[in-house]
Amino acid sequence: MATMAGPSRLIGAPIKRREDPRLVQGLSHYVDDIKLVNTLHCTFLRSDYAHADIKSIDTEAAENLSGVVKVITGSDIAGKVGSIPCAAEIEGLKVPDHPALAVGRVRFVGEPIAAVVATDPYVARDALDLIEVEYDELPAVVDLDAAIESDSTVIYDEFDDNIAFTMPLDAGDVDAAFAEADHVVSQRFVNQRLIPNSIEPRGVLAEYLPGEGTLTVWSSTQVPHHLKTILSLLLDLPEQLVRVIAPEVGGGFGSKLNVYPEEAVVAYLATQLRKPVKWIEKRSEGFTTTIHGRDQVDYVDMAVKNDGTITALRAKLLANMGAYHQLLTPIIPVLTYLMMPGAYKIPNIKLELIGVFTNKMATDAYRGAGRPEATHIIERMVDLAAQKLGMDAKEIRFKNFPQPDEFPLEMATGVTYDSGNYQMSFNKALDTVDYASLRARQAELRGQGRYMGIGIATYAEICGMGPSVGVAGGGWESSTVRIERTGKVTVLTGVSPHGQGQETSFAQIVADEYGISIDDIVIIHGDTGRQPQGIGTFGSRATAVGGAALIIATQQVKEKMAQIAAHMLEANADDLVFEDGNIFVQGSPDSAVTFADVAATAHVAVNLPPEVEPGLEATHFFEPSNFTYPFGAHISIVEVDPETGEIDLQRYVAVDDCGNIINPLLVDGQVHGGIAQGLGQAMYEGAVYDENGQLLTGSFMDYAIPKATQVPRFETEHTTTPSPVNPLGVKGVGEAGTIASSPCLVNAVVDALSPFGITDIDMPMTPNRVWQAIQDAQ
Amino acid sequence: MKIKADYTVSAHREKVWEHLTDADLLSQSIPGCEELKAAGNDTYEATIKVGVAGIKGTYKGTVTLENMQPPSAYRLIVEGKSTIGFLKGACDFRLEEVNSGETKVELAGELTVGGKLARVGQRIIGSAAKMTIGQFFKQINKLVTTDTDS
């Protein structure tokens, strides 16, 4: 069989998303749109205190409210619903018990204490007001630096302190490098806590059929397969009888890469009450009890030579875990740790990563997950070093990039970058903005008392989450390809898209391989009943790992089709091509069999070659050999009004290299959304708790996410450096925009304000903060 | 959140003191007060309706007067909870006769709120508290001036 497909028509083509018509017409089904007869509605009573002992809970009045079916508290389900799990495996990690409903003590505002089930959602809500909880307030641990001091309140009686884990690294000879440095730059960075806020809040619907013993759970999740396994363990049910369906999911950004108490409690209640039970998260609940992102305080030193060579990096990273570990909480800052060198060859690195418990909501994966923090640190430090050396921000970067022929490149942190050409993407970005004339323009404007800034971020990140050795819960992915009797193709994938567009891009991959129309292909995902094996969508992995599984399964079926077609054509399978719905011997398109005919032959099974089984189906599990390391260069141009502190973002250019591109529209969509979210962190967003652990930014009135009018038109460009670790040569692009944009914007504003002697500014760069920095500098 | 304010009431200090420490008069003056009844030892059980930023709730709790130094100073402690969360605070009141027949009341204290009110209303709780205290003194002023002969 000719392994080459026909002329490549769809991979690389800007095909419009096939998902969009149903989304824009309101024809999709999210969890709350799924209506089952006799569904009961669940609500959760949540702690108003950040840290308190529960003296008593009186649920009697709530139970007596007409329409209330059941009220449960932590003690009712102790021993019946297991501890909410954390998948992290880190040496010495402290893993506290995480009951689905608090028992005895609450440790963050919003922690669920009791669940009410009623026949009507409004009754279930009203009943919450009738539950009386008596608390004994305890001092709240809220400040990251203070939490690790010896005089801090300790959140867990069973532990000596609030340190969840420490992870050291000492690569090369850091002390010698600092001793021999011409300059040392030092900075403390606060990477503020963010609230993900996907457009669809979380939601769970569970139905238990006692006769069959089957539990079906619809959840707005990114990881239905993990949820299936974990629910079966938490509720002690046979895994084969648990099915999890992620219907249409309205975004996640990592916040739904988790298993939450509500999922366990709702599923448990369905098994007990033997009726469907539904819980839909309110936006105000989402603010307090869906995982948060970022929240690090980082102390960093960099050693540089006079010629701009970076010789060493030393850092203490404090990462806020929150009160409990969610699924991956401690792993997120490990990605910061691994990616500390960014796009630069730094031979000597000494790190101390400290995970810290506080009386706040758990942090976990939020778009970028650990890499925005690393990129912020390294990109700011490089600019600080350049500023100190009087060197251009461009020159110091070129000075420290690895050369393209050095890949695969082992870094001091232990990871091996797969492929890269950082010079190429950076040069493209510099050419796009005409960097030299920009600097001239900046000098001219400064002469007029105007503060224009040019921000650069040349990033390298880690994604394509796999191989399994580096990903808690597994880093492989599965795909099944089945050709139906009518010649239509069904793809079952273990990834679980929730906005990424794989129903389009995966169909492009298959259509090209088979030479058939994209309309003949259906991509099924997010249902463990249809595709029992999978890992899910997160960490920019779906195409790099799931797409790789798909192309291999597609080719396996193609090989069998070629054997059958060769039998029908009395030809040699190696000579066949698949094109325009036909299969024929290369050069003889007139004597072809149709793709559909071959499919029918395979299913009817009366004219099969010897040794060939009926049917056309293959499943492949793909295990990548390494992570992928996308990279790129972003440049932003701002002007700051020193009178008001307002930032005018005038231009944003992104050159991303995510390896081969399946669909440029999807890639640009990811880059746009990613930049908008990074811009949100840089300029607007920040979760604020007061000194008692009360969340002050509990609604969109106080938590500002960027609006359409606050983002500029993005200019996106690409370079293509294929990854060698998967057969598609793709790397992943879901998070690149978020990873590069916040340091890019901070670098621009600091560059604009450098005439004032300003060297750093904390995010979010609100007008007040910018204005204050200017006042303080004067 | 810190509270610091002062108000001038058009009455002698003893009179103002009397009003500020009398349960009946207090219940007439506290905005949203539905009930205030003595529970002994200068402690009162209170039911007070509060509405901030579209968040409304009825707080049930206690008001305690401490460090009573008639007629010049006392400390007021409140603790309450409602369906919109909890609040607790302590506030020192100092009364000083500034002109003949005029008393300046200085307040300095701290108010803590938790729960939904904190999440949604914190941004404007300072101004809401100030407004509520202003209404309280306006009412006290009204009561003392219409009640001059008693």
CATH number assigned to the domain comprising residue A214: 3.90.1170.50
Chain B contacts of A116, Cβ < 8 Å? none
pLDDT of residue B101: 87
The helix or strand, by DSSP H or E, that contains position A452, with its residue range, turns out to be: strand A451-460
Distances (CA, A) of A231 to A264, A266, A562, B53: 6, 11, 42, 40
What is the reported pLDDT for B148? 52
Last residue of a domain, one of A577, A602, A622: A622
The string of pLDDT tens digits covering residues A444-492 is 999 999 999 999 999 999 999 989 999 989 999 999 999 999 999 999 9
Residue B33 C-alpha, separation from nearest chain A C-alpha, in angstroms: 20
- Residue A261 clears pLDDT 50, i.e. is over it: yes
* Cβ contact, residue pair A49, B114, below 8 Å: yes
Lowest mean pLDDT among A109-123, A400-414, B7-21: B7-21
B150 assigned to some structural domain: no
Decide if pLDDT at B123 tops 80.
no
**pLDDT tens digits, A644-690:** 999 999 999 999 999 999 999 999 999 999 999 999 999 999 999 99
φ and ψ at residue A38, rounded to 5 degrees? 65, 25
Do A631 and A612 fall into the same domain? no
Statement to judge: residues A298 and A263 lie in one domain = no
List strand residue ranges (DSSP E) for A487-592, in order. Answer: 489-493, 521-524, 576-579, 582-585
Interface touch B86/A49, C-beta < 8 Å: yes
Candidates A23, A8, A6, A4; CA nearest to A503 is A23
Total count of domains within chain B = 1
**pLDDT (0 to 100) of residue B145:** 84
Q: How many domains does chain A have?
A: 3
d(CA B14, CA B144): 11
Domain range holding B12? 2-145
CA angle A42-A48-A50, nearest 5°? 120
User: Is residue A285 within 8 Å of A201, Cβ to Cβ?
Assistant: yes
Chain A contact for B113 (CB, 8 A cutoff): yes
Confidence of residue A440 (pLDDT cuts 50, 70, 90): very high
pLDDT digits (tens, 9 = 90+) for A331-350: 999 999 999 999 999 999 99
What is chain B's Cα-based Rg? Answer: 15
Check B122 against A129: CB less than 8 A apart.
no
Specify whether A562 is located in the same domain as A682: no
Cβ-Cβ contacts under 8 Å for A103 (sequence gap 6 or more): A74, A75, A78
Q: Given a cut of 80, is residue B74 above it in pLDDT?
A: yes
Tell me whether residues A694 and B114 touch, CB distance under 8 A.
yes
Question: Same domain, yes or no, for A360 and A426?
Answer: yes
pLDDT of residue A8: 59
Q: To which residue do tokens 């022929």 refer?
A: A405
Residue B85: closest C-alpha in chain A? A48
Put simply, whether A118 touches B (Cβ < 8 Å) is no
Evaluate if residue A286 carries a pLDDT over 60.
yes
Quote the CA–CA distance of A593 and A583 in Å, as a whole number: 5
Which CATH number fits the domain that encloses residue B64? 3.30.530.20
How confident is residue A147, by pLDDT bands cut at 50, 70 and 90? very high
Helix (H) or strand (E) holding A169: strand A163-171
B14 C-beta neighbours (distance < 10 Å), count? 13
Is B150's pLDDT higher than 50?
A: no
Count the Cβ atoms, other than its own, within 10 Å of residue B51.
15
DSSP H or E run through B146: helix B116-146
Give the whole-angstrom CA distance, residue A769 versus residue A755.
17
pLDDT at B147: 63
Q: Three-class SS of residue A598? A: helix
Identify the CA nearest to B26 among candidates B93, B72, B86. Answer: B93
Closest partner CB to B119 (pick from A50, A288, A692): A288
Tell me, yes or no, whether A350 and A381 share the same domain. yes
* Residue A1 covered by a domain: no
Residue-level pLDDT at B22: 87
A671 and A765 inside one domain: yes
A-B CB pairs within 8 A amount to 49
* pLDDT per residue as tens digits for the range A49-77: 999 999 999 999 999 999 999 999 999 99
Q: With respect to residue B34, please indicate whether it lies within any of the assigned structural domains.
A: yes
Q: What is the pLDDT of residue B121?
A: 75
- List the single best residue of B84, B88, B111, B120 to mutate versus A (max A Cβ within 10 A): B120
Span A383-392, average pLDDT: 98
Q: Which chain A residues are within 8 Å of B120, Cβ to Cβ? A: 284, 698-699, 701-702
* Mean pLDDT for the stretch of residues A117-137: 97
pLDDT exceeds cutoff 60 at A305: yes
Among residues A602, A622, A642, the one where a domain terminates is A622
Asked if B111 reaches chain A (Cβ–Cβ under 8 Å), the answer is no
Residues A570-592 have a mean pLDDT of 96
Candidate from B86, B120, B122 with C-beta closest to A48: B86
Longest alpha-carbon distance in chain B: 47
Q: Which of B114, B119, B123 sits opposite A692 (nearest CB)?
A: B114
In a domain, A192, yes or no: no
What pLDDT band is residue A1 in, cutting at 50, 70 and 90? very low
Q: Are residues A358 and A456 in the same domain?
A: yes
For residue A217, the model assigns a pLDDT of: 98
A681 by Cβ neighbours in 10 Å (0-12 / 13-18 / 19+) ranks as: buried
Please state the rounded mean pLDDT for residues A717-729: 97
Decide if A432 is inside a domain. Answer: yes
Question: Looking at A622, A647, A671, which one is the last position of a domain?
Answer: A622
Q: What's residue B52's pLDDT?
A: 81
List of residues 6+ apart from A33 with CB closer than 8 A: A247, A248
Least confident stretch, A203-207, A310-314, A598-602, B75-79: B75-79
Question: Cα–Cα distance between A553 and A491 in angstroms, integer?
Answer: 9
Q: Are residues A638 and A671 in the same domain?
A: yes
The answer to whether residue A406 sits within a structural domain is: yes
pLDDT at A9 over 90: no
- Identity of the residue in A50, A287, A692 whose CB atom sits nearest the CB atom of B119: A287
Residue numbers in A near B53 (CB within 8 A): 701
| Stretch among A3-7, A197-201, A428-432 having the lowest mean pLDDT | A3-7
Q: Do B122 and A690 touch (CB under 8 A)?
A: yes
In a domain, B60, yes or no: yes
A276 and A321: one domain? no
Are A689 and A734 within one domain? yes
Shortest Cα distance, chain A CAs vs residue B1, angstroms: 10
Closest to A461 measured CA to CA, from A635, A334, A340: A340
In this structure, are A575 and A691 located in the same domain?
no
What pLDDT sits at residue B116? 86
Residue B59 inside a domain? The answer is yes
Query: Measured between alpha carbons, how far is A638 from A650 in angstroms, rounded to an integer?
Result: 5
Q: Is A694 on the interface with B (CB under 8 A)?
A: yes
Mean pLDDT for the stretch of residues A88-117: 97
pLDDT greater at residue A534 or residue B99: A534
Task: Give the Cβ contact number of residue A39 at 10 Å.
Answer: 18
- Asked whether the predicted pLDDT for residue A5 surpasses 60, the reply is no
Q: Residue A4: what pLDDT?
A: 44
Q: Which residue of B has its CA nearest to A46?
A: B115
**pLDDT for the residue A524:** 98
Residue B73 lies in a domain: yes
Q: A20-56 pLDDT, tens per residue?
A: 999 999 999 999 999 999 999 999 999 999 999 999 9
The residue of chain A with its CA nearest to that of B122 is A696
CATH number at residue A344: 3.30.365.10
Q: Is residue B114 part of a domain?
A: yes
- To the nearest whole percent, how much of chain A has pLDDT over 90? 98
Average pLDDT estimate for A701-728 = 96
DSSP A420: -
Q: Do B119 and A690 touch (CB under 8 A)?
A: no
CB A734 within 8 A of CB A547: no
Domain-embedded: residue A155: no
Going A692 to A698 to A704 to A705, the CA torsion angle's sign is positive
Q: Is residue B99 part of a domain?
A: yes
- Chain B residues closer than 8 Å to A287 by CB: 119
Average pLDDT score over chain A:
97
Residue B108 lies in a domain: yes
Domain hosting residue A610, numbered range: 20-28+476-622
Rounded CA Rg of chain A: 28
Nearest by CB: A699 against B83, B112, B120: B120
> Helices in A57-111 by DSSP H: which ranges?
60-64, 74-77
Give me chain B's average pLDDT, please: 89
Same domain, A439 and A316: yes
Give pLDDT, residue A171: 97
